[in-house]
Amino acid sequence: MDNERIREICLALPHVAETLNWGHHLVYWAGSRDIGGKMFAMTDLDGTGRGVLYFHCGPERFHELLEIDGIIPAPHLARAHWVTLERWNALRPRQIEDELRRAHALIYARLPARTKALLDLPEKERARLIRGRKKPLKEGVR
């Protein structure tokens, strides 16, 4: 498993966007950040962070995952039930893929109805509304 494989997995999920944040973290969003999406996973691109992969796991899985050697609470995000893989082999590749799918589903389920409605629009219509500077968003999408 590596950053490129994580990218393939995440971008194959519905309504996922990616951004480069904090200089060296590739962040994956359920929905675009520009329309109220929320991040569900991120990778450390240059290896200077504490771990290689960070993801949301929800309160039920949080303590289970922390019992696995090589998984720690995510710095600055543990309160929101995020964990960090310190190394790629802390979980098997299939387990990592399952956890990323679960993280996406958990975050997507908590998106505001307005954001979900925007994501359901065709790409051109969504782009037109976003360019329209929120006024059409409030009137046309609820």
Domains of the chain, earliest start first: 3-111 (3.90.1150.30), 112-142 (no CATH)
Confidence check: pLDDT of 43 > 90: yes
Supply the pLDDT for residue 71.
97
Look at residue 34 and tell me whether its pLDDT is greater than 60.
yes
pTM listed for this prediction: 0.84
pLDDT tens digits, 69-116: 999 999 989 999 999 999 999 999 999 999 999 999 999 999 999 888
Could you give the strand order of the β-sheet that contains 82-85, starting from the edge strand earlier in sequence? 16-21, 25-30, 38-44, 53-56, 82-85, 71-73
